Structure 1
Amino acid sequence: MKNTACSGNGYKTAQKTERSLFTRMCIGEAIIELMQDKGMNGVNVSAIAKRSGVSRMTFYYYYDSVQEALTDYMKEIVADYLKARKNTPGLGNYQEYSHVVFSLKFFDQYKTFFLTMTQNGLHSILMDGINEFMLSYLPKETVQSLYDIYYYAGGLLNTFLKWEENGQKESAEEVARIICQHTRV
């Protein structure tokens, strides 16, 4: 999980402001911390509010459920990725080596989030997030088939998760080489 000062879409009527982003990210981080400490059974709105420093009313202002908050957190990670990607020249196509290395290194800063989600059986939020990203943000001219996108997104996510779970024994560059061997454009 990326460090923020408090230690998407999916929220109701709240506007996207810096303050709302800060509050929503604090809520997301609090949920992840609670899941690390107590598993999903230890996560409830009262505990989230206490850990994040917001009221229950504030939580419900943004979200109807814990799952909705986690989905929003994932969307904000993707938004952060898109900003970083835009500011990094020379990445090329999403399946090119330089882009895969960039993606692995970028998402590594959120490894706590990804691993905690997986350990708590919430892999579907991660998969939905990466599928939505791939479908929404890939240039249409690079897409040959929706199944190509789903295949690549699932493989990339699973490879990233296993790389993190195994303690990154290989470099991001080595993992990217392996991925690119199987996804020749």
Structure 2
Amino acid sequence: MRITEDGTNLTARNQYIRMCIARTLIHIMEVKSLEDITITELVKKANVSRMTFYKYYKSKQEVLSDYMYEIVNDYMEDARKRTDIGGLHDYKHICHCFQFFKQFSDFIKILLNANMYSVIINALNNYMDSYVLPTSNRSRYELYYYAGALCNTYIKWVETGMIETPEEIASIVYKHVGRKD
């Protein structure tokens, strides 16, 4: 069972339904602006009822936030299993971060096109507060600074077509913010 950002317990079925709604919304946003998408259209295409939608979400924006939270949570789980990437500020860890999030670049572009940068940074700050801060000797604001630097670099990398490899981007970031925890 997984716990969401708001503390809700999710069964596999609950999580599946939430992800279906999110993926459907993202798919529609590839051709239509968020404001032009109705809940009726979303639930019909996601093959769920309005009641089901409102059981999990209050708004379309909340759907996107939840999906971003899931991505960050998956990253956290993936990084936790890895013994070969070192600490948060190590080159290998930074490289892993860019490699992992590269697969979500289309979703990030959709969020940026919808002027929803806050969804991205809020999920990263939540990650820093929940998973990094309790075991770090750094202040909350140092962690926010670091998350913001990584986030902005990643976004600009995505916007410019990801021409550089994750290793090249990680090398640039490491040179400026990398140091032992």
> Post-superposition shift, 1:86?
2.0
Counterpart of 1:38?
32
**Match of residue 27 from structure 1:** 21
Once the two structures are superposed, what CA deviation does each residue of 1:119-140 show, in whole Å capped at 9, x if it has no partner? Answer: 1100001111001101111154
Larger displacement relative to structure 2 (76-85 or 94-103): 76-85
Residue 81 (structure 1) shift: 1.0
Secondary structure of the structure 1 residue equivalent to 2:30? helix
Q: RMSD between aligned alpha carbons?
A: 1.6
Which letter maps to 1:64? K
Name the structure 1 match of 2:120: 126
Aligned to 2:129: 135
Task: Choose the corresponding residue for 1:54, options 48, 56, 64.
Answer: 48
- SS state of the match for residue 24, structure 1? helix
Where does structure 1 differ by over 3 angstroms across 4 or more consecutive aligned residues?
A: none
Is 1:154 aligned to residue 148 of structure 2?
A: yes
Contact (CA 8 Å) 2:133, 2:143: kept in 1 or not?
Answer: no
Whole-Å Cα distance in 2 between the matches of residues 137 and 127 of structure 1? 15
Count of residue pairs the alignment pairs up: 176
Structure 2 runs not aligned, ≥5 long? none
| Matched residue SS, 1:37 | coil
1:5 corresponds to: none
Are residue 84 (structure 1) and residue 47 (structure 2) matched? no
- Of the structure 1 ranges 89-98 and 140-149, higher mean CA displacement relative to structure 2 is found in 140-149
Query: Which of residues 5, 9, 20 is equivalent to 1:9?
Result: 5
Deviates more, 1:38-47 or 1:170-179: 38-47
Measure the CA separation in 2 of the matches of 1:112 and 1:54: 24
Matches of 1:48 and 1:9 in 2, distance apart? Answer: 23
- The sequence identity of aligned pairs, in percent, is 36
Q: How far 1:144 moved relative to its partner?
A: 2.1
* TM-score for the superposition, normalised by structure 2: 0.90
Distance 1:60 1:178 in 2: 44
Deviation at 1:29, TM superposition (A): 1.1
Q: Which residues of structure 1 form unaligned runs of 5+?
A: 1-7
- Given that residues 133 and 139 in structure 2 are in contact (C-alpha distance below 8 angstroms), is that contact kept between their aligned partners in structure 1? no
